Structures are given as structure tokens and as C-alpha cells.
Structure 1
Amino acid sequence: MLLRAADGDAAAFQIFYDRTSAKLFGVILRILPERQEAEDVLQEVFVTVWRKAATFDPARASPITWAATIARNRAIDRLRARPARPMAPVEDALGLADDGPAPDAGLVASQEARRLAQALAQLEPRHAAAIRACYFEGVTYDELAAREQVPVGTLKSWVRRGLMRMRGHLEGGEA
């Protein structure tokens, strides 16, 4: 197809394009991840392939290798043509705020989770299960009351009393 394209056969070139464009686009995208820029380079590559098809030597490379080399080189040229980004001295980073959690935040969170688990363990099992379902699993009072086969008011009382006892354990340090 490439040799026929060298003779000006547009249909052969179309077939060559259809068979190679996806692979060449992938080569370019690995170098230039911005899709629009990669598409522009792909177009340049096929213009070059059309113009230079007569220089293709099947004894030196396969058609796809030859075209992939052109694509790779064009993408690298485009990358090198970008203006260099200014670099700031590393000392400038000292003044930047870190929005991430503090180093000890995970430790504090795990300690709080352990205290909550201990406080829940001190409750009557039905009350603890109701609190877990409502607060940790997102189950509504109505759904849980139906599941437990109790009136909604009773379920709310379980949760309220359980939360009050948990608060006592947490504030009193008993947990």
C-alpha cells in the first residue's frame, strides 16, 4: 500500500491510513498525552508519509516501523518545541501549605474508632446493633424498625438511650 501511495494512489494511502492510524496515534499519545496535540501530530505524520512514501525502503524496515519512526520523531520534536517551564528553587517549597492530614491524624482517628467500638461493646446488643445500622450503615429508623419488628418509637428510644450511655462512657473515660 505504501509503495502504491508513493505512485500517487490515494486509495492505497487510505487503506494504509486505516490499517496504521490507531497504532501511530498510540505511539504519539505515549509521548504527548494531550489528545488534541496528539491528533495534530498524527495529521502531520500522515502528510509526511504521503510526501515521503517514495523514500520508503522495504529492505530496511516494515511499513509500520517506518511510519512509527516518523510518528515518534514528530512527537518528540513537538515536545522539544514547547517552552521550558521555569524551575523554582527547592527552598520556595518550605513556604507552601500542606493541606493533607497531619502525620498523627491516622493515629488519633484509630484511637477514636477504638474508643467508639469499646463504648458500643458496653451497650445492650440490640441497642448497639441499632446504632451501628443507623449511623454506620445508613439504615433509616423506619427500615430498621420493620426489620426488627418493633415500633419506630421503640427503635428511636433504643438509639437515644444507647447514644446517651455511649456518651457517658466516652466522657467518663470508662471506655
Structure 2
Amino acid sequence: MDADALVQAIASSADRQAFARLFDHFAPRVKGLLMRGGTPPDLAEELAQETLMTVWRKAALFDPAKAGASTWIATIARNLRIDHARREKRSRQSQVFDLLEEEDGPEQPDEVLSGSERDARVRVALKGLSKEQYRVVELAFLEGFSHQDVANKLSIPLGTVKSRLRLAMAHLRRHLEDLR
């Protein structure tokens, strides 16, 4: 199979048969590549499909003089995985902010710190946590692990994870009270 020729056929004439052959060949390989990098199977399959849909849409951008089709496709998959991880990290950071906020009604504009000031304050408060508390908060909220997964990952009892989280959240609330 000449993957370069298949991508060029997709680019020049939107050749569906070429795309089907390319998809059949690369979808399982991209999924395997992503899973070897630590991506869960369901997400790896979703990203593999998204990768190949990107190949369909952007086939005209493929330049065989710069790289082979397999390298180009692997790079697309890698970039999609990185983009997904960044979106997840931002989402988890906003969850930490949500846990710290009370629902007392809408904030008044003169009471709100700018986003960058708020982020800096949260970073300083996080640095005030013990190393153990910070690691538990990082795994549970920033990386999205369940409490049980955190306990398994750190080889500590589940109750210890919950205690560290409770103490860390109390510390953060004390130091960020005025942000509420």
C-alpha cells in the first residue's frame, strides 16, 4: 500500500475508496499508538477517528517532500492528543475554582479580581499545601483521578486520601476566602 499516493488521491479528487483503504490501514495503528502513550482505549478510538477525519479534510496540506504519510498521520494524532489533554487540564482547573466558590449570587464587578490575579492567588495558596496534600489535589482535581485511583497510585489508604483532600480544601478556602 502506498499511503502517500492514497493521501494525494484524497487531496486531488476526494477519492472515497482511497480514504477507505487509508482508514482501514491506519485507524487501528493510530489507536494502538495512542494507547501505548497512555491514552484510554475509548478516547484513543475517538482520537484515531478524529485523526483520520482530519486527514480527509486536510489532505491537500500533505507534502510528501517533508514527511511520509504515516509520519504526517502520526503527527496529527499526537497533536490531537495534546490538544485534548490541554482542554481537560483547563476543565479540571476550573473545577477547583468551582469548589472554592459559594453560590451567594452574582459577583459585583468591583469585587472581582482579574483572572490572572485570581490564578496567581490560587497558585500561591496551592504552594502553601504540604507536598502530600498538593499531590492528592493534583491527582484528584487537575488530572481527574478518582479518590480510589489516587489511593492506588500513591499506595496509601483511601481514608488518607480523603483526609488530605479535606485538609487541603480547608487550607485553600482559608487563603482564598476573599475571592468568594
TM, length-normalised to structure 2: 0.47
Higher helix share: 2
Q: Which has the larger radius of gyration?
A: 1
